[in-house]
Amino acid sequence: MALYFIGDLQGCHEPLLRLLRTVDFSPSRDTLYLLGDLVNRGPDSLAVLQTLAQLGDSAQSLLGNHDLHLLVVGYGLGRQHRGDTLDAILAEPNRAEWLDWLRHRPMALQAQGWLLVHAGVLPQWSVARTMELAGEVERALRGPDVAGFLAQMYGNRPARWDDSLSGHDRLRVIVNALTRLRFCSADGEMEFQTKGAASKAPKGCMPWFKVPGRLTAGTPMAFGHWSTVGLDAADSTPVMRHNTLALDTGCVWGDCLTAARPGTAPGAFELFSVRCEAMQPHAGVAAAAGALGTAS
């Protein structure tokens, strides 16, 4: 039995099928862990959902910010943005079933000693606390007032975690950390304006995984969301940084879709990538499988 952590799909169905063939994936034997942003911007978001749903328990999918955006639009609480590619799902006669399937996906997962999230975690959160807080959002999404939750979900405030937070403010901070976080201050105040490379941190901030004393630092983590981190290495192949592995390697932008197969040693993994052929990939993106990585 093998496990595979896969970065952001964003509607790139055909590369997903090629990646599964590359690793010889068998749903009776193996398990996929998708790190969120299953849909949007790519050409075939509906097919992605159909394939993952057909795989049943052999595909465990996290929710990312684009998936939550689909829920907001699907429940009539927001509009599509320029560049969105959600029409096929929204036009489906059984779209309510797809929305229901999506809102029952988790916000965080643990697998083979790894913590899996879409974007990041705040430095004050331990692994156990991260899972507890993810569960609070999951209960809101799966509950009878999902529309009420989604209507209050967006916003950049509060920007810092406090255990005394309650109601929509509390859930908003959790959602923002797990699905939007890139940069924050040393005390965990989140910054949402900057979206570039990790080396371009705004004043007073740093990438969330570099915060000194981060309580999850002792646990290997895999995340997506931040494609410029996933392609930041000299040869554009994901590497461990501060015990974290960034697996959004920009498939929707014409780069690669990447899977990591965790090894038996803590933080060890093997990488497999396929190139997205829809666009011209950036120079240096490796499409070959089998690059070996370990934690440093």
Q: What percent of the chain has pLDDT over 90?
A: 85
Residues 43 and 252: their CA atoms lie apart, in Å, by 9
Tell me: the pLDDT tens digits for 88-105?
999 999 999 999 999 999
Dihedral sign of CA atoms 195, 176, 262, 103 in order: negative
Using the predicted structure, report yes or no on whether residue 294 has a pLDDT greater than 60: no
Provide the terminal-to-terminal Cα distance of the chain, rounded to the nearest Å. 26
What class is the 3-293 domain? Answer: alpha beta
DSSP secondary-structure letter at 244?
E
Residues 103 and 83: their CA atoms lie apart, in Å, by 23
Locate the DSSP E strands across 37-83: 59-61
C-alpha R_g of the chain? 18
Using the predicted structure, report yes or no on whether residue 237 has a pLDDT greater than 90: no
Residues 141 and 74: their CA atoms lie apart, in Å, by 13
Locate the DSSP E strands across 13-147: 31-34, 59-61, 109-111, 114-116
DSSP secondary-structure letter at 42?
S
Domain range list for the chain:
3-293
pLDDT, residue 232, reads 63
Q: What percent of the chain has pLDDT over 70?
A: 91
Q: Taking all residues of the chain, what is their mean pLDDT, rounded to a whole number?
A: 91
Tell me: the pLDDT tens digits for 215-233?
999 999 999 999 988 766 5
Evaluate whether 196 touches 95 at the Cβ level (below 8 Å).
no
The half-sphere exposure of 46 on its side-chain side, counting CA atoms within 13 A, is 12
Rounded to whole angstroms, what are the CA distances from 109 to 23, 133, 136, 293? 22, 12, 14, 22
Which string of b and e fits 262-273 if b means at least 16 CB within 10 Å? beeeebbbbbbb
Tell me: the pLDDT tens digits for 44-80?
999 999 999 999 999 999 999 999 999 999 999 999 9
Tell me: the pLDDT tens digits for 124-141?
999 999 999 999 999 999
Angle, in degrees to the nearest 10, between helices 65-74 and 95-103: 140
